[in-house]
Amino acid sequence: MVKEYSILIGGAAGEGTRRAGLIIAKLLQEYGYYIFIYDDYESLINGGHNFSQIRASEKKILTHSRGVDFLLALNNETVARHKDKLNKEGVIIYNSDKISDCEGIGLPVEAITKELGGKPIMKNTAFLGALGKMLGIDWRIIEKVLKQELKRGIELNLKIANTAYEQVETLVKIEKLPSNECPLLTGNEAVALGAVQAGLEAYIAYPMTPATSVLHYLAAKQKDFNLIVFQDESEISVINAAIGSAFAGKRTMVGTSGGGFALMTEGVSLAAQAEVPVVVVESQRTGPATGVPTYSAQADLLFALNSGHGDFVRLVVAPGDTEESFYLTGLALNLAWKYQLPAIVLIDKAISESTFSFDENIVDKVKSEKALLWNKKGEYKRYLDTKNGISPMAFPGEPNAVIKGTSYEHDEAGITAEEDASQITAMQDKRMKKYDALSKEIDEPGAVKVYGNEKSDKTIIFWGSTKGAAIEAAEKLNIKAIQPLILQPFPEKQMAKALEGVKTLISAETNVMGQLAKVLSCEGIKVDEQILKYDGRPFLPEEIEDKLKNLI
**Mean pLDDT within 192-209:** 98
Give the pLDDT of residue 163.
97
pLDDT of 179 above 90: no
User: Does residue 177 form part of some domain?
Assistant: no
pLDDT of 239 above 90: yes
More confident residue, 48 or 188: 188
Could you report the per-residue pLDDT of 400-412, keeping only the tens digit for each?
Answer: 899 999 999 999 9
Same domain, 430 and 481: no
Same domain, 157 and 291: no
Same domain, 351 and 386: no
- Band the pLDDT of 136: cuts 50, 70, 90: very high
Question: How far is residue 504's CA from residue 459's CA, in Å, rounded to a whole number?
Answer: 6
Contact 69, 91 (CB under 8 A): yes
Same domain, 145 and 113: yes
CATH number, position 109: 3.40.920.10
Question: How far is residue 251's CA from residue 373's CA, in Å, rounded to a whole number?
Answer: 14
Could you report the per-residue pLDDT of 101-132, keeping only the tens digit for each?
Answer: 899 999 999 999 999 999 999 999 999 999 99
Same domain, 152 and 220: no
Supply the mean pLDDT for the chain: 96
Give the pLDDT of residue 47.
83
Same domain, 508 and 394: no
Question: How far is residue 539's CA from residue 112's CA, in Å, rounded to a whole number?
Answer: 38
343: Cβ contacts below 8 Å, ≥ 6 apart = 277, 278, 279, 280, 314, 315, 316, 317, 332, 333, 335, 336
Give the pLDDT of residue 313.
85
- The percentage of the chain sitting over the pLDDT mark of 70, rounded to a whole number, equals 100
Of the residues 112, 140, 167, the one at which a domain ends = 167
Tally DSSP H helices, then E strands, for the chain: 19, 20
Backbone conformation region of residue 215, classed left if phi is above 0, alpha if psi is from -120 to 50, else beta: alpha
Stretch among 43-47, 191-195, 373-377 having the lowest mean pLDDT: 43-47
Give the pLDDT of residue 44.
84
Q: Which helix (H) or strand (E) holds 382?
A: none
Pairing of strands 86-95, 105-107: parallel
Going by C-alpha positions, the residue among 269, 332, 358 that lies closest to residue 486 is 332
Of the residues 365, 393, 424, the one at which a domain ends = 365
Give the pLDDT of residue 16.
92
Give the pLDDT of residue 372.
97
Give the pLDDT of residue 410.
96
6 SS3 class: strand
Give the pLDDT of residue 37.
98
Contact 93, 127 (CB under 8 A): yes
User: Does residue 313 form part of some domain?
Assistant: yes
CATH number, position 309: 3.40.50.970
User: Does residue 215 form part of some domain?
Assistant: yes
CATH number, position 469: 3.40.50.920
Same domain, 409 and 526: no
Q: Which helix (H) or strand (E) holds 175?
A: none
Same domain, 8 and 154: yes
Question: How far is residue 476's CA from residue 457's CA, in Å, rounded to a whole number?
Answer: 15
Same domain, 80 and 200: no
Give the pLDDT of residue 285.
97
Sign of CA dihedral 20, 179, 55, 539: positive
Same domain, 200 and 301: yes
User: Does residue 20 form part of some domain?
Assistant: yes
User: Does residue 174 form part of some domain?
Assistant: no
Q: In terms of residues, how long is the chain?
A: 552
- Reply yes or no: is the peptide bond before residue 491 cis, omega within 30 of 0: no
Stretch among 45-49, 156-160, 489-493 having the lowest mean pLDDT: 45-49
481 SS3 class: strand
User: Does residue 430 form part of some domain?
Assistant: yes
Question: How far is residue 505's CA from residue 552's CA, in Å, rounded to a whole number?
Answer: 10
Question: How far is residue 49's CA from residue 41's CA, in Å, rounded to a whole number?
Answer: 7
- Band the pLDDT of 535: cuts 50, 70, 90: very high
pLDDT of 46 above 90: no
**Mean pLDDT within 420-447:** 96
Backbone conformation region of residue 17, classed left if phi is above 0, alpha if psi is from -120 to 50, else beta: alpha
- Band the pLDDT of 168: cuts 50, 70, 90: very high
User: Does residue 332 form part of some domain?
Assistant: yes
CA distance between the termini of the chain: 26
Give the pLDDT of residue 181.
83
**Residues forming beta bridges with residue 216, ordered by sequence position:** none
pTM over 0.95: yes
pLDDT of 2 above 90: no
Q: Which helix (H) or strand (E) holds 325?
A: helix 322-339
- Band the pLDDT of 94: cuts 50, 70, 90: very high
Number of domains in the chain: 4
Question: How far is residue 146's CA from residue 157's CA, in Å, rounded to a whole number?
Answer: 8
**Residues forming beta bridges with residue 56, ordered by sequence position:** 5, 35
Could you report the per-residue pLDDT of 324-351, keeping only the tens digit for each?
Answer: 999 999 999 999 999 999 999 999 999 9
211: Cβ contacts below 8 Å, ≥ 6 apart = 188, 205, 255, 256, 257, 260, 281, 282, 283, 352
Give the pLDDT of residue 134.
96
Same domain, 18 and 135: yes
Rg (CA), the chain: 25
- The percentage of the chain sitting over the pLDDT mark of 90, rounded to a whole number, equals 96
Give the pLDDT of residue 100.
86
**Mean pLDDT within 213-225:** 97
Question: How far is residue 341's CA from residue 437's CA, in Å, rounded to a whole number?
Answer: 13
Same domain, 378 and 360: no
**Residue-range definition of the domain harbouring residue 261:** 184-365
Backbone conformation region of residue 138, classed left if phi is above 0, alpha if psi is from -120 to 50, else beta: beta
**Mean pLDDT within 203-225:** 97
- Supply φ then ψ for residue 48, to 5 degrees: 65, -155
**Mean pLDDT within 125-144:** 96
Contact 428, 311 (CB under 8 A): yes
Of the residues 338, 365, 392, the one at which a domain ends = 365
Sign of CA dihedral 542, 545, 547, 550: negative
User: Does residue 176 form part of some domain?
Assistant: no
Letter for the amino acid at 55?
A: R
Question: How far is residue 43's CA from residue 394's CA, in Å, rounded to a whole number?
Answer: 45
